[in-house]
């Protein structure tokens, strides 16, 4: 991913006059608009002390899955594995929560604050097998920058 996108992320997150939620929302919208294979972009965060994720800011079609128990779906698995999960073909996954029939692939990257997995960024793509190591490194960068304002 190019450095222009990275500087756009940094610029949005640096808008200290805006709430964290507004800045995260704008990051989601910018990534969705700028990256052709990003069709839904959102953040999930641990819901307090509960063993579940709660949907935060996102860009794309509304989803029914605003609460996801730990272990369920791609997102719930990343909440317990602490590892990136790249899914080239969602139809090949047993433990998957479908949000839209148009989605072909998904990537979820955990977000750490002080070494603790507190949430994740989740991207859905309508393109089959679109994600590479470059997406993983870029989304790790996004989450690292986000962790600095949480
Ligand atoms: N597909 C995800 C659910 C979240 S939606 O993609 C927005 C999953 O399996 O966890």
Q: Which atom of ligand 1 has the smallest separation from the CA of 65?
A: 4
Rounded to an integer, what distance in angstroms lies between the CA atom of residue 106 and that of residue 26? Answer: 20
For ligand 1, say whether the CB of 65 is within 6 Å of any of its atoms. Answer: yes
CB of 73 within 6 A of ligand 1: the answer is: yes
What ranges make up the beta strands (E) of 5-138? 40-46, 52-59, 67-69, 85-87, 105-113, 116-125
**Highest CATH level, class, for 3-147:** alpha beta
What average pLDDT is seen over the chain? 97
Task: Assess whether the C-beta atom of 74 lies below 6 angstroms from ligand 1.
Answer: yes
Question: How many angstroms is it from 16 CA to the middle of ligand 1?
Answer: 30
Instruction: Look at the alpha carbons of 112, 62, 20, 132 in this order and tell me if their dihedral is positive or negative.
Output: positive
Number of the ligand 1 atom closest to the C-alpha atom of 95: 9
Domain boundaries, the chain: 3-147
Over 90: is that where the pLDDT of 2 sits?
Answer: no
Is residue 150 predicted with pLDDT exceeding 90? yes
Give the CA angle between residues 65, 132, 41 to the nearest 5°.
30
Phi-psi region of 60 (alpha: psi -120 to 50; beta: other; left: phi over 0): left
| Whether the predicted pLDDT of 103 surpasses 80 | yes
Residue 1 has pLDDT above 80, yes or no: no
Residue 54 Cβ < 6 Å to ligand 1: no
Mean pLDDT of 28-46: 98
Q: What is the per-residue pLDDT across 66-88, written as a single tens digit (0 to 9) for each?
A: 999 999 999 999 999 999 999 99
Instruction: Tell me the pLDDT band of 99, cut-offs 50, 70 and 90.
Output: confident
- 5-34, pLDDT tens digit by residue? 999 999 999 999 999 999 999 999 999 999
Q: What confidence score (pLDDT) does residue 87 get?
A: 98
The pLDDT of residue 54: 98
pTM, entire model: 0.98
């Amino acid at each position: 991913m190019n450095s222009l996108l990275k500087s756009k992320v940094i610029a949005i997150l640096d808008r200290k006059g805006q709430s964290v939620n507004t800045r995260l929302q704008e990051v989601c919208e910018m990534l969705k608009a700028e990256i052709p294979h990003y069709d839904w972009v959102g953040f999930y965060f641990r819901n307090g002390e509960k063993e579940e994720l709660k949907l935060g800011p996102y860009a794309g079609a509304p989803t029914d899955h605003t609460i996801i128990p730990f272990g369920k779906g791609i997102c719930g698995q990343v909440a317990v594995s602490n590892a990136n999960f790249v899914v080239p073909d969602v139809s090949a996954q047993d433990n998957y929560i479908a949000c839209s029939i148009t989605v072909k692939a998904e990537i979820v990257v955990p977000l750490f604050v002080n070494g603790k997995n507190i949430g994740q960024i989740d991207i859905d793509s309508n393109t089959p097998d679109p994600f590479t190591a470059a997406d993983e490194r870029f989304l790790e960068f996004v989450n690292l920058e986000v962790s600095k304002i949480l």
